[in-house]
Amino acid sequence: MFHDILIPTDGSDASTTALEQGVEIASGTDATVHLLHVVDVGTEMAASGVGNIADGLTKTLDKEAKEALNQAEKMADEAGVSAERAILEGFPEDAIQKYSNENGIDLIVIGESEDSTLSEQLFGSTTDDVIQSATVSVLVARH
């Protein structure tokens, strides 16, 4: 049914839940999971005016991206599921949609935590934005 499943991951518990569900859907089929980590430019821009902090933050964000993708790829490998991985920079909701469009994705499995921040309550979460902008099916894995 699904051939290319996009699972955005940031290493959080919510994205781990999405990863588990996405890998389970792909398991036993010829589907490929696409593991995507987006380095949020909003975070980088917020620190850009602080000099040395920006360089350290960029290195930390890159390290976190690689760790999240390594964990995700390990889960897919253990389940015998084919996986591709990518790191993009940008605003997460835009990067997820762009990757989906450019890679023939037919399902996005995205995590959502029940513990939302005040900002998410006021302006909506990345998950909400992806649901609104997606042109393919979206499975929200609740943690």
**pLDDT tens readout for residues 101-112:** 999 999 999 998
Q: Among 10-14, 72-76, 113-117, 121-125, whose mean pLDDT is lowest? A: 121-125
26 residue type, one letter? A
Beta bridge partners, 108, equal: 6, 138
Calculate what percentage of the chain has a pLDDT beyond 90.
Answer: 62
Give the model's pLDDT for residue 122. 46
- Give the angle subtended at the CA of 107 by the CAs of 28 and 73, to the nearest 5°: 60
| Euclidean distance between CA atoms 47 and 73, whole angstroms | 30
Give the model's pLDDT for residue 119. 47
Residues 25-47 as b or e (16 or more Cβ within 10 Å = b): bbeeeebbbbbbbbbbbeeeeeb
Identify whether the C-beta of residue 112 lies closer than 8 Å to the C-beta of residue 140: yes
Q: Which residue has the higher pLDDT, 80 or 45?
A: 80
Mean pLDDT value across residues 32-45: 81
Q: Among 13-17, 35-39, 124-128, whose mean pLDDT is lowest? A: 124-128
